[in-house]
Amino acid sequence: MTDTSFFPQARTLTLRQVAEMARATLPDGIDGELLLRGVAPLENAGPTDLAYMDNAAYGSALAATGAAAVLVTPRFASKVPAGSVALVTPQAYRVFAGVMALMFPSAMRPESAFASTGISPGCFVHPSARLEHGVRLDPGAVVGPGAEIGSGTLVGAQTVIGANVKIGRDCTIAAQVTISHAYIGNRVILHPGVRIGQDGFGFAMGPQGHLKVPQVGRVIIQDDVEIGSNTTVDRGASRDTVIGEGTKIDNLVQIAHNVVIGRHCVIVAQVGIAGSTTIEDFVALGGQVAVKGHVRIGMGAQIAATSGVNGDVPAGARWGGVPARPMREWFREIHALKKLASHEDSSNSASKSDGEPS
């Protein structure tokens, strides 16, 4: 539930304002000035709440909701109960997200734990570092020599910004983040515990031991990237590790040296991407996908959760499985295995009924 002690509500919206955001038509006789005081899930929503619905799994919750209004995709519009106003839109979830951003702007990115308005007590800023006006540092933040931080950026408690790192404007670098050997664009969000720019896993292996290979590249993170808690991004070995504009990365992801990720990709939790892989624009990787090094995943490809990618993936493909292959091929193999298992079970049952010992 929404707790205003953690997320103070900045404003309320009328039914008409939400309908305009959704480009939805209000039914005749409905008061467009009805005030929507909050948001809630279908099952908990009350007479002044807004809810949304775009998934058939929640059909029973929609039928029983007490929400004042429901943002709903056309497929489910007829199932909205008589006591709720249906705001029909093809992008119900996206509009709901926009409403929440207006009502609870403090939930959009990590906030200062110290309500900082400048450089807090207990920070350590090297004399050669350059901070633009409006930078906020929480207690214990460390900014190394030659580092540059743009205006409007927050640096959380006990975060370490390494030597010569460049961070753009209006970024949020949360608590206990470490950044080295990196250039970071504007409006980037790094959640707690993110590690950027440490050396990659590079060794020249041999019978006399494994010789460490110096990693002398950088990390380049472009504008509007968001990276979840405890994700690691290694710097390049001899070229740069790059994360493209607008890409969103979940918690606990490993991105190895020399990886290049395109624009507006989505990478879900526990993905591991091995070195020198190239991921083109608008790729989506499901949870726990493993990507072998030195492969290319084409623009717009989608890889199902828990898959293993060990070769190039063409643009626009939908692959899954271990090793990953086209979805139809993967589903046919699964179906064939089910039929085979069912046949073996039937044969075993028949043998037992014929008197064979179990």
Number of neighbouring beta carbons within 10 Å of residue 113: 15
Q: Strands 203-204 and 241-243, how do they pair? A: unpaired
Decide if 309 contacts 330 (C-beta within 8 A): no
Q: How far is CA 83 from CA 25, 68, 80, 248, 344, in A?
A: 17, 7, 8, 38, 54
Whether 264 is a known active-site residue: answer no
Question: Could you say which of 126, 191, 210, 257 is catalytic?
Answer: 257
Q: Where in the sequence numbering do the catalytic residues fall?
A: 257
